[in-house]
Amino acid sequence: MTARLLAWLPNPILQVLHGTGSALFLLVRSLRHLPSLPRQFGRFIEQCHLIGYTTMPIVGILSFFIGSVLALQSGHAGENVGYKQFIGALVGLTMARELGPVMAAVLLAGRVGSAIAAELASMKVYQEVDALETMNIPPERMLVLPRLAAVLTMMPVLTIMADLVGWFGGAIVAQYTHFISIEPASYFANLRQYMDFSDVLNGLIKAEIFGFTVVLVCCHIGLNTRGGPREIGASVTRAVVTSLILILVLDFFVTKALM
Amino acid sequence: MPAANSNSPLPGAAPAVGVKVEGLAKRFGTFEVLRGVSFTVQPGEIFVLMGPSGSGKSVLLKHLVGLERPSAGRTLVASHDGADPATRERVRMALVFQAGALFNSLSVYDNLALYPREHRLGDEAAIRDRVMRALQILSLENAVHKLPAELSGGMRKRVAIARALVMEPQLLLYDEPTSELDPVMSATITEIIATLRQRYQVTSIVVSHDRDLALSIADRVGILMGGQLVFLGPPADLRQPTDPRVADFLNPRIDLEHPRFKHLET
């Protein structure tokens, strides 16, 4: 009955369902090896370095300009309406609840997700993954689990950094733009008045969900690559595009769920 | 596995195992790669599986280590089902891949040390001892710090064999071990396969279309064509084959008047 129902579904929907199910199985298989994590500490640290440390500069640069442009746009629009004194709260809340986690996740997909998909796809195509299986070393344990643990550890760091840099970007623009001219003290006072820790926490929860999804999807697509060099490139594209779509779709639902 | 194992000599610590293939069939979509293949390999035997490209030899090998699941029939390794992942825990099997399948981001040493480290077969000193012994057997001590990309084709195959040896396998499978090698290096690899069997009594299944390898070291040969076994017997019987397909495969006549590529099916 279920099989007959599935046969009626259009192919793209079937592919999405198949991909989701298969990625969830990969997650379950990886989590089964959770007790092995302490002795994979070296691999975990290596992944933390790749996922977190090397992504920090680009997250910093982007968040600075996002905070700046937020202050600029809201200052420009608020000049006539008279809400320019709320720029601190506006930049603070937008960065913490929305743009900090989303931009960190988007950069993670582009910078780290693509690298993960490329590495695992090439390992799969050149039979390194098969070699691991014949050596009775589960690829999920060695290749997926340390990455999942690392992203869960590093996403809050990246997000908090994005929030802070974005807030300071906004403060600098608010101070030095002639039609805004708000002192940092009043900018941050306003930010603190309308924000509390739950706003930052809200963003951190989102970031964890996005980061985890990006790494899982990229590992899954990489490990399911078949063919040759051309397919490695195709897998990287698919991994990044799927990650970006998932970030934005999940963003809506998670935001709604957290309200 | 106990740590004491790391101090035992290379392969042979556990007894060699036999292999049984029963009516094995494999279909990829509508394409039948294997059509009811059956044979038995005795413990400690060198069994060479030959056949033209695309005849299903490598696919058959993958069934033995559980990398493929049969469409019908089964493979038994020491009477355990080859398709069952638990078989890899009960029997130590090593597959030497055609292209080596070395981990490109790891040095030769780390490639070999990965298995004992992941399975916690002793401390780092014991692992080093085990790895160096495998490298010594294949005269690879000088390549220990090299990355796979820095190795020649022949060295890459030898490192792949050394990596298999570190596992102290009871069953050693070779996928085209002499392909893409010059005649001297092919002969070297052939000697290595024979030596390892002689020294450690490991059951060896070699997939190859190297006639010299089959005739010189095989205990028995199987020839696979179109997914079916068309010959099974000692190499001596191959010197004067009765089946015209086998005769043509082993001694193909170059006929420029009627080139065979014009008659190939697309």
pLDDT tens per residue across all 266 residues of chain B: 333 333 344 544 578 899 999 999 999 988 999 999 999 999 999 999 999 888 889 999 999 999 999 999 999 999 899 888 889 888 999 999 988 899 999 999 999 999 999 999 999 999 999 999 999 988 899 999 999 999 998 899 999 999 999 998 999 999 999 988 889 989 999 999 999 898 888 999 999 988 889 999 999 999 999 889 999 999 998 888 888 888 888 888 888 888 877 776 65
Q: Which of A130, A131, A136 sits opposite B89 (nearest CB)?
A: A136
Neighbours of A176 (CB within 10 A): 9
d(CA B11, CA B130): 11
> The domain that contains B247 carries what CATH number?
3.40.50.300
CB atoms B119 and A136 under 8 Å: yes
pLDDT for position A106: 96
Interface membership of A11 toward B (CB under 8 Å): no
Point out which residues pair with B222 in neighbouring strands: B49, B232
CB atoms A131 and B118 under 8 Å: no
d(CA B168, CA B174): 15
Query: Domain for residue A100, yes or no?
Result: yes
d(CA A240, CA B4): 47
Averaged confidence pLDDT in chain A: 93
pLDDT for position A1: 62
Tell me if B18 sits within 8 A of B219, measured CB to CB.
Answer: no
* Residue to test with chain A: of B61, B64, B67, most A Cβ within 10 A: B67
Query: Domain for residue A125, yes or no?
Result: yes
CB atoms A133 and B103 under 8 Å: no
CA distance B124 to chain A (A): 14
d(CA A157, CA A211): 12
CB atoms B66 and A135 under 8 Å: no
Query: Token match 């990965």: residue?
Result: B114
pLDDT winner (highest mean) among A8-17, A175-184, B245-254 = A175-184
Confidence category of residue A109, pLDDT binned at 50, 70, 90? very high
Could you give the count of Cα atoms lying within 13 Å of A259 in the half-sphere of its Cβ? 7
Neighbours of A160 (CB within 10 A): 17
Tokens of B223: 């020839």
In 3-state terms, what secondary structure has residue A228? coil
Q: Which of A123, A130, A137 sits opposite B118 (nearest CB)?
A: A137
> What's the 3-state SS for A157-195?
HHHHHHHHHHHHHHHHHHHHCCCCCCCHHHHHHHHHHHC
d(CA A19, CA A98): 27
pLDDT in tens, A204-216: 999 999 999 999 9
> What's the 3-state SS for chain B?
CCHHHHHCCCCCCCCCCCEEEEEEEEEECCEEEEEEEEEEECCCCEEEEECCCCCCHHHHHHHHCCCCCCCEEEEEECCEECCCCCHHHHCCEEEECCCCCCCCCCCHHHHHHHHHHHCCCCCHHHHHHHHHHHHHHCCCHHHCCCCHHHCCHHHHHHHHHHHHHHCCCCEEEEECCCCCCCHHHHHHHHHHHHHHHHHHCCEEEEECCCHHHHHHHCCEEEEEECCEEEEEECHHHHCCCCCHHHHHHHCCCCCCCCCHHHHCCC
Tokens of B254: 């170059």
Tell me if A246 sits within 8 A of A209, measured CB to CB.
Answer: no
Biggest CA pair distance of chain A: 69
Residue A83's domain comprises 42-258
CB atoms B101 and A128 under 8 Å: yes
- Residue A14 or A243, more confident: A243
Query: Domain for residue A23, yes or no?
Result: no
Domain count, chain B: 1
pLDDT for position B242: 85
Interface membership of A136 toward B (CB under 8 Å): yes
In 3-state terms, what secondary structure has residue A259? coil
Neighbours of A36 (CB within 10 A): 14
Reference A219, options A152, A148, A156, A155; nearest CA is A148
pLDDT for position B266: 52
User: Which residues of chain B from 97 to 136 reach within 8 Å of chain A, CB to CB?
Assistant: 97, 99, 101-104, 114-115, 118-120
B16 phi, psi to nearest 5 deg: -65, 155
Q: Which of A123, A131, A142 sits opposite B97 (nearest CB)?
A: A131
Q: Which amino acid is at B265?
A: E
> What's the 3-state SS for A121-162?
HHHHHCCHHHHHHHCCCCHHHHHHHHHHHHHHHHHHHHHHHH
Residue B240's domain comprises 3-263
- Residue A82 or B189, more confident: B189
Tell me if A166 sits within 8 A of A246, measured CB to CB.
Answer: no
Interface membership of A41 toward B (CB under 8 Å): no
Interface membership of A127 toward B (CB under 8 Å): yes
* Residue to test with chain A: of B97, B112, B120, most A Cβ within 10 A: B97
Cα Rg of chain B, angstroms? 19
pLDDT for position B3: 37
Domain count, chain A: 1
Query: Domain for residue A82, yes or no?
Result: yes
Q: Looking at chain B, which residue has its C-alpha nearest residue A128?
A: B101
**What number is the ipTM of this complex?**
0.86
CB atoms B67 and A133 under 8 Å: yes
pLDDT for position B247: 86
pLDDT for position B7: 38
pLDDT for position A195: 92
pLDDT for position B9: 45
B211 phi, psi to nearest 5 deg: -65, -40
CB atoms B67 and A130 under 8 Å: yes
